[in-house]
Structure 1
């Protein structure tokens, strides 16, 4: 089963995304900030880091850079509501996908499936 570490500071969005991914068959661990995500990345194996870019204490880009150091096999998808931040993310973490808010949950699940080469079966 694909394991996803979700870093999202907005509680409602974190719950919403976690539920959608779990309903699609993924195992999800969610945290409210990048600094909370780091110990998980250091101690457990995750297939995907799904991170908001704008968060307190440590932004998603820095988190992705640290992830690349401690867990280089972990893929990264960013989520953001800020267009300018999308451009910065593309430059600083070029291997990462970026989903701009608002997006439909089906789009999120389809993007995760694409990242792992899974057949499309999103039914949200």
Structure 2
């Protein structure tokens, strides 16, 4: 089963995202900030880090950089409500996907499926 670490500081958004991903068959661990995500990255294996970009204490960019150091095989996907941040992140992390808020939960699940599509076709 694909394991996702979700870092999102908005309680309602975090709950909706986690529920949508779990309903789609993913295992999800959700935290409210980047500093809470780091210990999980250090102690568990994740297939995907799904992180909001703008968060207190440690933003999603810094979290992705820490993830690359700790768990370089973990894929990264960003979510943000700020278009300028999304464009800059796309340039800085070209291998990562950026999903701009607002989005439908179905779109999130489809994007996650696209991230793992090559891996899933190999397993079949």
| Same fold at TM > 0.5 | yes
Deviation at 1:41, TM superposition (A): 0.5
Deviation at 1:95, TM superposition (A): 1.3
Q: Which runs of 5+ in 2 are unaligned?
A: none
- For normalisation by structure 2, the TM-score amounts to 0.93
Instruction: Find the counterpart in structure 1 of residue 90 from structure 2.
Output: 90
Deviation at 1:91, TM superposition (A): 2.3
Instruction: Find the counterpart in structure 2 of residue 115 from structure 1.
Output: 115
- CA RMSD across the alignment: 1.0
Deviation at 1:94, TM superposition (A): 1.9
Instruction: Find the counterpart in structure 1 of residue 53 from structure 2.
Output: 53
- For normalisation by structure 1, the TM-score amounts to 0.93
Distance in 2, Cα, partners of 1:87 & 1:110? 20
Distance in 2, Cα, partners of 1:78 & 1:8? 10
Written as runs of structure 1 = structure 2, the 5 A alignment for 1:37-48 is 37-48=37-48
**What is the number of equivalent residue pairs in this alignment?**
119
Question: Contact (CA 8 Å) 1:65, 1:93: kept in 2 or not?
Answer: no
Cα deviation digits, residues 23-44 of structure 1 (max 9, x gap): 0000000000000000100110
Return structure 1 stretches of 4+ with deviation > 6 angstroms. none
Report SS of the residue matched to 1:95. Answer: coil
